[in-house]
Amino acid sequence: METKLSKEKEVLDYLNISRTTLWRLKKEGLPTVKVGNSQRYDIEEVKEWVLNDEEVNYQPKEIEKKQAIIEPSNNETLHFENAEITDNEINNTERILQEYPISLTYLLEHNDKYLQKIFDKECIEKLTENLRNYDDTNVSNAKIVKIFSFEYLKLLKQKHQEQTKPKEFNTELNNFIQQDNNSIRVIWGNCLDLMQKMESESIQLMVTSPPYYNAREYSQWENIDLYLEDMRKIIRESWRVLDNHRVWVWNVGDIFDNDRKVTKSVWGKKRIPLGAYFIKIFEEEGFEFVDDIIWDKGEVESKRFMNGGMDYPFYQYPMNCYEHILIFHKHRLDTQKIPCPVCGSLNVNGNTQSEIGVQSWECKNEKCFVRSPNNRGKRFSLRTNMMQYWFDEDINNNRVF
């Protein structure tokens, strides 16, 4: 029976490695079959070679199975017997676990000199105590790195919150907001007054449709400038309260009204582009404008412009059938080192800013599992870690970041 030969892509997928690593393995003796001017692979021979060669650090997907242990911080350990950690959960770098095993104790010792530069003795003792609440026996490297990063960044945030605590901070209000349950909590009050009592970077998403300028009895201002100044105060305070690298969603529509800057008479009515005004204010207060999603309502919601049926052009004024859904990001520059998402090391160098306010780092740990073809360390930022590695993972029934 003729042996089926596989192409390079099939071997790359099977071993879950890069072309650079495949080239290195071929140098070490990975069996190949020359077909014309190209090379093919016998998967069975490749499998046997990988399993029998002690120096090979990569194992096929189908033969790697591990036991999972999920560790809450309340000193209880939940064991999932015979559970398998999938490739999506453990990251490709787990394939060399035996060559460079990680533990929480190891990460504390490895990162000690960096921790001493960032935290005082009391904070380091607190970090050590928090990590002792986890049982990392038989836990994957990726999971251990997540746990260490979670506890480290939690302390880093607490340090920032202490430094930026508002004068009107209200403990009772913040305890109510940060309850460890999934219940919906509604707080009644003036949003600016309440935010001034809240902890810094304690809210992970903000969504609102602000009162439109002089559109209702409860939302009246002397002129457009005073209205925008009040909105600016709210936006400025929201910068402090919104968590870092998070999203603000602001729904507003352009209006046709009197800005009252020249006259209060009816002839002072004109188009007021609130969407454009708010984009400018958000940017001036430090936010990054991301997108303007147009909410098409299908038809205008008023017939005021029809002039009682005398719909001559000069008697009509424009009405909108849409509103803006403005998307903004908050990026406060991360000046403290962020653990490598692969190996958990704080031996990292500031690289560049991938965008304004987003600090990029490069891992300098020589034992790190991920290296580029040019032998450069893993590059990452706190923002990319949140999106690609941690996904707000709920390690202990609490928000991670």
> pTM of the prediction?
0.71
How confident is the model over 193-204, as pLDDT tens digits?
Answer: 999 999 999 999
What's the rounded mean pLDDT across residues 92-103?
56
What's the rounded mean pLDDT across residues 19-29?
77
Contact in structure between 298 and 323 (CB atoms under 8 Å): no
* pLDDT beyond 80 at 85: no
Write out 6-56 in H/E/C secondary structure.
ECHHHHHHHHCCCHHHHHHHHHCCCCCEEECCEEEECHHHHHHHHHHCCCC
Least confident of 80-84, 259-263, 322-326: 80-84
Joined tokens for residue 39: 């090379």
CA 53 to chain centre: 40
How confident is the model over 135-154, as pLDDT tens digits?
Answer: 988 888 888 999 999 999 99
How large is the angle between the packed helices 141-163 and 121-132, nearest 10 degrees?
140
* Highest mean pLDDT out of 59-68, 279-288, 349-358: 279-288
User: Per residue in 66-99, is it b (16+ CB within 10 Å) or e — as a string?
Assistant: bebbebebeeeeeeeeeeebeeeebbbbbbbbee
Residue 8 has what pLDDT?
84
- The domains of the chain are located at 8-63, 68-163+334-390, 202-329
Least confident of 27-41, 143-157, 202-216, 230-244: 27-41
The band of 64, judged by pLDDT with boundaries at 50, 70 and 90, is very low
- The strand ranges marked E within 41-117 are 68-70, 78-80
What's the rounded mean pLDDT across residues 377-398?
71
* pLDDT beyond 80 at 55: no
* pLDDT beyond 70 at 357: yes
* pLDDT beyond 70 at 395: no
Closest CA to 46 of 9, 19, 14: 14
Residue 203 has what pLDDT?
94
According to CATH, what is the number of the domain 202-329?
3.40.50.150
| 270 vs 334, residue with greater confidence | 334
By CB neighbour count within 10 A (0-12 exposed, 13-18 middle, 19+ buried), where does 56 fall?
A: middle
Joined tokens for residue 223: 């002129």
Hunting for tokens 């309502």 — which residue is that?
297
What's the rounded mean pLDDT across residues 97-122?
86
